[in-house]
Amino acid sequence: MPSVQTVQVMARSGLDWILIDMEHSPIDANAAHAMIAATSGTPLIPLVRVPSTAAWHAKIPLDAGAMGIAFPATTRREDAEAVVRAVRYAPEGERGWGPFYAPLRWGLSTREYVDRANDEILAIGLVEHIDAVSSVSEVVATPGLDMVIIGPGDLATSMGLKGRSDDPRVLEAIRRLESVILPSRVALCGVAHSADQANAMIARGYKALIVGFDTTLLQRGIAGAISEIRVAG
């Protein structure tokens, strides 16, 4: 949700990080900037998912202070290389100059920010297409790529199984991706729908987890609050 207030609540709820979604939500550049700024002074790390693999999509969230950018459909090595170039200043990449707000988010001078940015900002790819199963070894071998997120929803959709990310065929594809990513130097992130699933994924070697979406967490909280109330009528 494009909501500063939601970010403020999440920042005090024990989360380590959030992924601000500019791909599948009405969050525009102004909202993303405000949400990133709302994490200031809290432990919450703001990451942003951009709507396409085009490098220019990363410019505004980076310059607003995002600590990492996640690009969709990182299926081939070429995609992963584009991810890295988009978030790094030269000579490691092609990020343009314009960090007018990011240093303010992190309490740094402009010089301090740009000196640290290439080492600390995360380059993240979403592995979410069945074709990635055969090419993921090339993706995780890409220098500078820090993390990949397995996207079960899009993975299932690419297999003709939209809405069925728990189908055995999708789970097998995820296992094949895990078998390559986990032994690599790239951190693996995934989606956990329960505490048991999250703990099992941590045991397998996942370094980051998406444990819910703001909309569904709110919906479940409301449903839980009223589920035991008896209404006369």
| Residues with catalytic roles | 24
Tokens for 89?
A: 């200043």
Give the bridge partners for 148, in sequence order.
Answer: 125, 188
CA distances from 199 to 126, 175, 188, 192 (A): 22, 16, 14, 9
Range list of β-strands (E), the chain: 17-21, 45-49, 68-71, 122-127, 147-150, 187-191, 208-210
Report in angstroms the alpha-carbon separations of 224 from 1, 38, 44, 191.
20, 28, 26, 22
Q: Which residue has the tokens 């045991």?
A: 203
- Other CB atoms within a 10 A radius of the CB of residue 125 amount to 29
